[in-house]
């Protein structure tokens, strides 16, 4: 809106200057009288222009204050909204951290639950499906092999520990010289 008024004032000033120039060229009076009259008119125009600028400044003062007040209020509201958003972000960040700590403490979470459900389904399929029968047989054979190997290693360990002497289940040796158990 101020651009429009300044454009109008510029056009008015240009038209005035052009009018004065044309008037000087077509002046019916001698040059000295014309210049005196022109000076008086320019001075009056300058005074009028100065008064109009003063009035314009007075009329625009409340508008400038209102714009400045609105800008300050918008700045305050913006700062308040920023602080609210920042506080909310920090609260959410703390909630997420707490949730992560809780999931670590519980040893579960969405992923852990999903993996547990998947393992349960796979186990149920493994034990109940006819197409999984060959796999079950291989697992039984592998388990038997592992069991046999574990028993053999346990026996070797017991023999080394007892130096070839038999031992009770609690691990104490039985000495054939005197049949009383001794602690090793």
pLDDT tens, residue by residue, 33-86: 777 877 888 788 778 778 888 888 888 888 888 888 988 888 888 889 888 888
| C-alpha–C-alpha distance, residues 124 and 179, integer Å | 52
CA atoms within 13 A on the CB side of 146: 6
Please, what is the Cα angle at 31 between 48 and 17, to 5 degrees?
A: 35
State pLDDT tens for residues 103-144.
555 555 677 778 888 888 888 877 787 887 888 888 889 999
Phi, psi dihedrals of residue 182, rounded to the nearest 5°: -120, 150
What distance, in Å, lies between the first and last C-alpha atoms of the chain? 105
């Amino acid at each position: 809106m101020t651009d429009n008024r300044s454009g109008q004032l510029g056009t008015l000033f240009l038209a005035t200057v052009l009018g004065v120039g044309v008037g000087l060229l077509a002046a019916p009076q001698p040059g000295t009288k014309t210049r005196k009259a022109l000076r008086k008119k320019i001075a009056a125009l300058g005074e009028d222009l100065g008064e109009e600028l003063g009035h314009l400044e007075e009329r625009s003062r409340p508008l400038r204050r209102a714009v400045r007040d609105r800008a300050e209020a918008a700045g305050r509201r913006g700062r308040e909204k920023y602080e609210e958003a920042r506080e909310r972000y920090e609260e959410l960040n703390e909630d997420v951290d707490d949730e992560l700590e809780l999931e670590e403490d519980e040893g579960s979470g969405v992923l852990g639950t999903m993996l547990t459900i998947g393992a349960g389904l796979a186990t149920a399929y493994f034990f109940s499906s006819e197409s999984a029968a060959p796999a079950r047989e291989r697992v039984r054979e592998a388990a038997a092999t592992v069991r046999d190997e574990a028993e053999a290693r346990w026996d070797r360990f017991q023999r080394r520990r007892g130096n070839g002497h038999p031992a009770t289940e609690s691990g104490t040796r039985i000495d054939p010289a005197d049949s009383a158990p001794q602690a090793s």
